[in-house]
Amino acid sequence: MRRFAFIAAILILSSCSGHDAPPSTVADACRIQEERPHWFTAMNETQARWGVPVSVQLATISRESSFRYDAQPMKRVGSGIFSRQVPRSSAYGYSQALDGTWEWYQRDTGSHRADREDFADSSDFIGWYMNLNSRLNGVPLNDAYNQYLAYHEGKTGYARGTWRRKAWLPAVARDVQTWARVYENQLRLCPRR
């Protein structure tokens, strides 16, 4: 009986960890909203605070982490039986924020307990970062294409045009822009909650 109680306690604690599994589909904003209403509360708060539309936030998070709280870019090193996966960078969480940029966000906003595994914190980070990019580089907050280029390359890299040397990146940014438009159109038609 004690063993059963211990296992039950572990299961309950793990289910209360606050980490959401990815939604059942990433192609339907209304379905995501139905499954994760607290995400939309967070994204609406981010939109109110920083001006970044919910649709741009959704498209960015979808591209960066596929809505996985523990996403981390990996690369294979070594060969044969000695190969292994190692982190490609310090990017982590829903927003794929780098360690240094996340620390800057925490200092700048006073959000010292913000966590990259927390959806609301990641949403706020994206809003803060894109708002800063808008002020520094003049990129409109609803311009998902250019905001994503700056998000990927950094504000300074974007200003220097480093993305022009990466033939694959504009296509990725166009994909983010397309999804932002899809999400925006879908959200207009979602039943009011």
pLDDT tens-digit map of 51-67: 999 999 999 999 999 99
CA-angle at 90, arms to 44 and 24, nearest 5°: 45
Torsion of Cα atoms, 10 then 95 then 100 then 88, to 10°: 80
Distance, CA of 127 to CA of 97 (rounded, Å): 12
Does any domain span residue 159? Answer: yes
Does any domain span residue 131? Answer: yes
Q: Within 13 Å of residue 156, how many CA atoms lie on the same side as its CB?
A: 1
Distance, CA of 128 to CA of 130 (rounded, Å): 6
Does any domain span residue 129? Answer: yes
Does any domain span residue 145? Answer: yes
Classify the phi-psi angles of 78: left when phi > 0, otherwise alpha if psi is within -120 to 50, otherwise beta.
left
In this predicted structure, what is the pLDDT of residue 88?
61
Per-residue pLDDT reduced to its tens digit, 64-100: 999 999 998 755 656 666 655 554 678 999 999 999 9
Q: Which string of b and e fits 142-160 if b means at least 16 CB within 10 Å? A: ebbbbbbbbbbbbbeebee
Count of structural domains within the chain = 1
CA-angle at 12, arms to 9 and 14, nearest 5°: 105
Which CATH number goes with the domain that contains 131?
A: 1.10.530
Range of the domain at 116: 20-69+95-189
Does any domain span residue 130? Answer: yes
Per-residue pLDDT reduced to its tens digit, 173-187: 999 999 999 999 999
Per-residue pLDDT reduced to its tens digit, 105-159: 999 999 999 999 999 999 999 999 999 999 999 999 999 999 999 999 999 999 9
Does any domain span residue 141? Answer: yes
> DSSP letter string over 5-19?
HHHHHHHHHHHTS-P
Mean of the pLDDT values across residues 11-29? 71
* Percentage with pLDDT > 70 across the chain: 82
- Helix, strand or coil for residue 76? strand
